[in-house]
Amino acid sequence: MTSVRIDKWLWAARFFKTRALASKACDLGRIHSNGIQAKPARDVRVGDMLKVKNEGGEFNIEVLLPSEMRGPAAVAQTLYRETEASKEARLKATAERKAMQEFAPLPEHRPSKRDRRRIIQFRGER
């Protein structure tokens, strides 16, 4: 096997939980292959450089092996190699998020019944 659909490969490499989510990410422009926005049916070959944006962050990776089968996480990590710059950027973003949480004000107490009603009304529920 020399090439695989990009949505299947992203699912097999465990970047997305389902193939449908991988396909949707391609449609939304969150996947780039060799600098070009990738469609779900685009083929991935060994040596391709992918830019993947998901809830885990932004990954810049090189494809090492094509695979259509989803296996254990240890096997999935052998399918690609993440660049050093990508690792550093993700660690920096994680540190920034943790630092921002330190400055977020914590509520002094639980919301009262009146506060809960206002929250529900504000959200447009009921």
Q: What does the pLDDT read at residue 54?
A: 92
Bridge pairing between strands 57-63 and 80-82: antiparallel
Is residue 6 a contact partner of residue 42, using CB atoms and an 8 Å limit?
yes
Query: Would you list the domain boundaries of the chain?
Result: 3-123
CATH 3.40.640.10, domain 3-123, yes or no: no
Ordered DSSP codes for 41-100 = T-EEETT-EEEEEETTEEEEEEE-----S---HHHHGGGEEE-HHHHHHHHHHHHHHHHH
From first to last of its 126 residues, what are the pLDDT tens digits of the chain? 789 999 999 999 999 999 999 999 999 999 999 999 999 999 999 999 999 999 888 999 999 999 999 999 999 999 999 999 999 999 999 999 888 888 878 888 899 999 999 999 999 876
* Closest alpha carbon to 4 in 63, 72, 59, 77: 63
Bridge partners (DSSP) listed for residue 31: 52
> What pTM did the predictor assign?
0.78
